[in-house]
């Protein structure tokens, strides 16, 4: 009886063990971008060139945890020098005062066992609001250099005014220069994080 009980407990504990690995965004193969309505008829597209992110992921169970992404607002680029300069001012991101924006995941929804939505806290200009990213997990492969790589796309929509990005200008015939709903997209690859180097004595 004791042997059977021990076997049952061992099997249960083993099956519940998480084999999640910590992944980090591959900056050379990840794009963090945004789109904003412009002049009521088009969109301005831009990207952030400096960012970092980590998360824990178990390929077998598809369990996703501890998502955290940090974006450096000073690195924004819309391919238009004067516009970028304006976006960095207090009218928008106020990068001197708020050089970073972050997303911290709090819950993950699954669809047929795959990550489908990440709920979390988005902080821009020191203001934190709930946000949801739709996730499209593409799969995992080994690259030619022996790295385990996973690929995904993440998309969300937020109202810029919720975060204090309030600047606008009226158009002569009605409407506004900048729309309120901003689309955020991360087209990403991530690799298993390498262990930190031991501290030098």
Comparing 6-15, 20-29, 59-68, 88-97, which segment has the lowest mean pLDDT? 6-15
pLDDT band at 200 (very low <50, low <70, confident <90, very high): low
pLDDT band at 174 (very low <50, low <70, confident <90, very high): low
136-146: pLDDT as tens digits? 999 988 888 88
- Which one is predicted more confidently, 187 or 10? 187
pTM of the full structure: 0.84
Euclidean distance between CA atoms 7 and 183, whole angstroms: 52
Q: Is the pLDDT of residue 170 over 70?
A: yes
Report the candidate in 197, 193, 160 with the shortest Cα–Cα distance to residue 179.
160
117-155: pLDDT as tens digits? 999 999 999 999 999 999 999 998 888 888 889 999 999
On whether the CB atoms of residues 157 and 183 are closer than 8 A, the answer is yes
20-56: pLDDT as tens digits? 899 999 999 999 999 987 655 568 899 999 999 999 9
CA 136 from chain center: how many Å?
Answer: 12
Phi, psi angles (nearest 5°) of residue 180: -90, -35
Euclidean distance between CA atoms 190 and 149, whole angstroms: 6
- Residue whose pair of structure tokens reads 């009605």 in the numeric block: 174
pLDDT score, position 147: 85
CATH fold of 19-192 reads: Lipocalin (2.40.128)
List the domain boundaries for the chain: 19-192
């Amino acid at each position: 009886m004791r042997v059977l009980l021990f076997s049952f407990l061992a099997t249960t504990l083993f099956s519940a063990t998480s084999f999640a690995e910590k992944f980090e965004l591959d900056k050379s193969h990840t794009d963090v971008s945004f789109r904003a309505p412009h002049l009521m008829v088009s969109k301005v597209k831009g990207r952030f060139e400096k960012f970092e992110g980590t998360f824990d992921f178990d390929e077998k169970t598809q369990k996703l945890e501890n998502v955290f992404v940090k974006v450096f607002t000073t690195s924004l680029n819309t391919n238009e020098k004067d516009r970028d300069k304006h976006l960095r001012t207090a009218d928008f991101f106020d990068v001197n005062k708020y050089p970073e924006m972050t997303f911290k995941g709090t819950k993950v929804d699954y669809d047929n066992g795959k990550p489908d939505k990440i709920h979390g806290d988005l902080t821009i200009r020191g203001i934190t609001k709930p946000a949801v990213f739709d996730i499209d997990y593409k799969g995992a492969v080994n690259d030619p250099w022996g790295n385990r790589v996973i690929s995904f796309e993440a998309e969300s929509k937020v109202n810029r005014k919720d975060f204090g990005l309030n600047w606008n200008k009226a158009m002569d015939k009605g409407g506004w220069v900048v729309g309120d709903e901003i689309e955020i997209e991360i087209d990403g690859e991530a690799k298993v994080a390498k262990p930190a180097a031991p501290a030098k004595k």
